[in-house]
Amino acid sequence: MSISEANNISGSVSEFILLGFPCRRDIQILLFVMFSLIYLLTLLGNTSIICAVWSSRKLHTPMYTLLANFSFLEICYVSSDVPKMLANIISQTKSISYAGCLLQFYFFFSMCAAEGYFLSVMSFDRFLAICRPLHYPTIMTHHLCARLVVFCWAGGFLSILMPAVLMSQVPFCGPNIIDHFFCDLGPLLALSCAPVPKTTLTCATVSSLIIFVTFLYILGSYTLVLRAVLRVPAGSGRNKAFSTCASHFLVVSLFYGSVMVMYVSPGSRTHPGTQKFVTLFYCMATPFFNPLIYSLRNKDMKDALKKVLGASSKEILKNTEK
């Protein structure tokens, strides 16, 4: 079937069925409870970091401004697919509209691209702070920080705009069952009723460029940072630098490790079970662990979080007494 013929009947697919996790009802309920708890804790953890940065004057620095924006990104990132996944677990229909599927695809991968840009900018910030400490205040100004934040957000959405437009032109006229819990690239392309080499090549090129360019930049930045830290005499200064950079690099490893297994490993797309597990890890586990990693390894953040959580507890007690 040619693309022109397929387009004539592509309107027959008005919705997709997301299989999600086909298993016994009691196991689905267990998955729903577990994923709901992780989702709520992710929202709570990242919101706490945003509140801590906003409320503490000590944290009104470029590093923590980037971290607060990164935490807000994580909230948007995890909310782009998890609520729909939870709804489908307890639903009998497990459907998503054609438009809803394309929007989910666009927003999820835009957030994913923005995360790569934010991690790159955060590594640049640490490079300046540790390798160019005397020039750091004059280079990493609040104005530059704001421009970098805008670049990350805008870059994420603009990078996925062309793949999203091409995906909207893919003809779907046959099966509409997606063996996944969200509208991922591979399962969607597999349902196309005509070859779409231009779309496949464009999506692969864009994703590879974002993944490898940002990862290599981050790797290069932290290599220079590590060399600089090793030159610092042993003491509190070295320990603090190691602690901060270790937190950042751990987040980078969690994110890029799972993303590369998913989109770079040759055999990952042929195994739906592996595909779901790896995707679940980078779309739920990394946003969940990020607040823990940053708060547990950073004294200033821990102190600010204690104040925020302490103030929240007092407010709750006051409301209870009333």
pLDDT at 264: 58
- Local mean pLDDT, 10-residue blocks, the chain (322 residues): 43 82 88 94 92 86 92 94 92 89 95 94 91 92 95 96 94 87 89 89 91 92 85 65 72 81 54 75 85 70 73 52 50
Tally the C-alpha atoms within 13 A of residue 216's C-alpha that lie toward its C-beta: 6
Q: What is the pLDDT of residues 43-64, one digit of tens each?
A: 999 998 999 888 888 888 998 9
pLDDT at 146: 95
Mean model confidence pLDDT for the chain:
83
pLDDT at 307: 77
Q: Which of 310, 277, 257, 266 is nearest to 184 (CA)?
A: 277
Q: Is 253 exposed, middle or buried (0-12, 13-18, 19+ CB in 10 A)?
A: exposed
DSSP assignment of 223-271 = HHHHHHHHHSPSSHHHHHHHHHHHHHHHHHHHHHHHHHHHHT-TTGGG-
pLDDT at 230: 78
DSSP assignment of 167-178 = HHTS---S--EE
pLDDT at 34: 94
**Six-digit token string for 147:** 């421009």
Give the CATH superfamily of 11-321: Rhodopsin 7-helix transmembrane proteins (1.20.1070.10)
Residues sharing a CB contact under 8 Å with residue 198, sequence separation 6 or more, in sequence order:
166
pLDDT at 280: 85
pTM of the predicted protein model: 0.86
Domain range annotation of the chain: 11-321
